[in-house]
Amino acid sequence: MPRGKSLNLYLMDGSVNGRVKCTLANWTGLAFKIPRTALDLCRDRKELKQTGVYFLFGKDEEHDQSVVYVGQASVRKNGEGILKRLQEHNGSPEKDYWTEAIAITTSNDSLGPTEISYLEHRFYQLAVEAKRYAVKNGVDPAQGNPSEEKQSELEDFIDYAKIVVGILGHKVFVPLVEPTSTDTVGTEGPVLLCVKNGVQATAIRTSDGFVVKRGSVLSMKPTKSCPEFVLKKREQYKNAIDENGVLQEDVLFNTPSGASSFVCAASTSGYVEWKTQDGKTLKQLEKSDT
């Protein structure tokens, strides 16, 4: 049975649009959510002069996709740490996409070079595997060489950090469909099918929206009624659709109709097209639930 978690969110500027400090019971970590426009307000925060890891979040406007950059920062000879690194990114034309950062350090300043290298590497891996955000790092960061005892300790740290980053608005490390576990609460609906005109797709409803599952067979011939957003989505995921129309990764949609239109390459109603294995439409399923 999953247990609750106790978090403390402090609005540093008294506004939901400002900086946020987050702590979690039984976790030595400290997290700061910092709008890019508020970096100068952090000059006197001693915690941000420590060693730690950070994430730059933004949007790829061309592809309408969330992006993230994973980085680390060590304390330098001048006594500057995370904040100095963020300020450098703020002045870099190559990093013009980010609008806010989340910095993670510890209350006891206990992270060293080995720890932050491992954390950076693991957070990068988790972000890539989750496939929610495009990861802007050019290469996979080296993981360093921590002992197995230290790795175990850092994995616990990471588990807590994933919760905090999610609470601060970014599910960057959470898979679209989480593996079933006794430690998680089931928030997914039944498996739904869309089978017509060569399309053989499966999907599930989650707390985030509607996920078309990897392995679904899509229509490769858009109709005249195919919505513009579907064509853009197909272009965005063209490398995840093989020559036979088989989807190679899970894809999230806001609505059932968005998902069915994507798989059918046509304007469709998801409440009619998506059905349970016994033939009940999503519309009928929702009526029976009420």
Residues 285, 161 share a domain = no
pLDDT of residue 275: 96
Give per-residue pLDDT as tens, 239-278.
Answer: 999 999 999 999 999 999 999 999 999 999 999 999 999 9
Q: Confirm if 267 and 228 have CB atoms less than 8 A apart.
A: no
Hey, what are 259's tokens?
């998902």
268 domain-assigned: yes
pLDDT of residue 92: 86
227 domain-assigned: yes
How far is Cα 94 from Cα 137, in angstroms, rounded to an integer? Answer: 11
2 domain-assigned: no
207 domain-assigned: yes
pLDDT of residue 75: 87
176 domain-assigned: no
Give per-residue pLDDT as tens, 54-89.
Answer: 999 999 988 788 999 999 999 877 768 999 999 999
pLDDT of residue 144: 87
What Cα–Cα distance (Å) separates residue 270 from each residue in 98, 137, 169, 205, 213? 34, 36, 28, 12, 15
63 domain-assigned: yes
Domain boundary among 134, 167, 200: 167
Number of structural domains found in the chain: 2
Task: For Cα atoms 71, 85, 154, give the angle at the middle one, nearest 5 degrees.
Answer: 40
Residues 53, 116 share a domain = yes
175 domain-assigned: no
Residues 199, 158 share a domain = no
Hey, what are 116's tokens?
């932050």
How far is Cα 163 from Cα 7, in angstroms, rounded to an integer? Answer: 10
202 domain-assigned: yes
Residues 261, 156 share a domain = no
Hey, what are 144's tokens?
């360093």
pLDDT beneath 50: ranges in the chain: 181-186
Smallest CA-to-CA distance from 206 within 165, 252, 160 is with 252
Residues 28, 155 share a domain = yes
Residues 143, 50 share a domain = yes
Q: How many CB atoms lie under 10 A from the CB of residue 21?
A: 16
Domain boundary among 151, 167, 183: 167
Residues 197, 158 share a domain = no
Residues 144, 30 share a domain = yes
Residues 247, 161 share a domain = no
How far is Cα 177 from Cα 166, in angstroms, rounded to an integer? Answer: 15
pLDDT of residue 177: 84
Q: What is the DSSP letter of 78?
A: T
Residues 163, 35 share a domain = yes
Residues 78, 202 share a domain = no
Question: Structural domain of residue 214, as residue ranges?
Answer: 192-289
pTM value is 0.85
pLDDT of residue 184: 44
How far is Cα 219 from Cα 52, in angstroms, rounded to an integer? Answer: 46
What Cα–Cα distance (Å) separates residue 155 from each residue in 17, 27, 32, 159, 178? 31, 12, 20, 6, 18
Residues 160, 19 share a domain = yes
| Residues near 235 by beta carbon (within 8 Å), at least 6 away in sequence | none
Three-class DSSP category at 238: helix
